[in-house]
Amino acid sequence: MTMGASKSEPTRQVGVFRPEAVAHLPAIRTAEMERFCWIVGDWNYENHVAPTRVSPGYSDIGRCSFSLCERSGWICIVEPDGVNVRNITYDPLSQQWIYLVTRGSYGLLRSSEGWIRDRIVFVGSMTMVGINCEWRMTWTKQHKDSFGFTNEELLDDGSWAYIDEWRFTRR
């Protein structure tokens, strides 16, 4: 970093990245985002939830859509009203994938290993139905028209407990 003019107040000197040091970052992000572009489109899903000591197991079905929000560098979930909600991106500075949830449940999960063949694992803090927990999502791409992920919660003993599984097929 070096000192330079603030974007909002050019007379103020602030810390800025040297252009030559960050010039390559957009190309890295674009190349990594290509690895997730297969998800763009319309999907049917099934969500299978395991029974717990306080609730029965159940299955749900529905539809969802993903879009590539190119200007912002995110894969977005498309809401029923057409609004794009940022969901997945790649941060070239930390070399991590980021999974963001901001509606209903709240969390920021990261994957530092990224895609290994057809699998990526996100881990991080999540707030589900008002309860804070450590969460793991393991995504598996079967092929361009089918993928799924499994959610698990970190228990006090350090083991991971299965929560639910989501299966997606392209519409």
94-124 tens-digit pLDDT = 999 999 999 889 999 999 999 999 999 999 9
By C-alpha distance, which of 109, 117, 114 is closest to 96? Answer: 114
Which CATH number characterizes residue 151's domain? 2.40.128.20
Specify if 65 maps to a domain: yes
The pTM score is 0.88
Asked whether residue 40 is domain-assigned, the answer is: yes
Alpha helices in the chain (DSSP H): 19-22, 25-34
Distance in angstroms (rounded) separating the CA atoms of residues 123 and 134: 7
Q: Cα-atom radius of gyration of the chain, to the nearest Å?
A: 19
Examine the pLDDT at 17 and tell me if it is beyond 90.
no
Tokens of 95: 């070399």
Of the pLDDT bands very low, low, confident and very high (cuts 50, 70, 90), residue 19 is: confident
Whether residue 61 is contained in a domain is answered as: yes
Q: Domain containing 163: what range?
A: 36-170
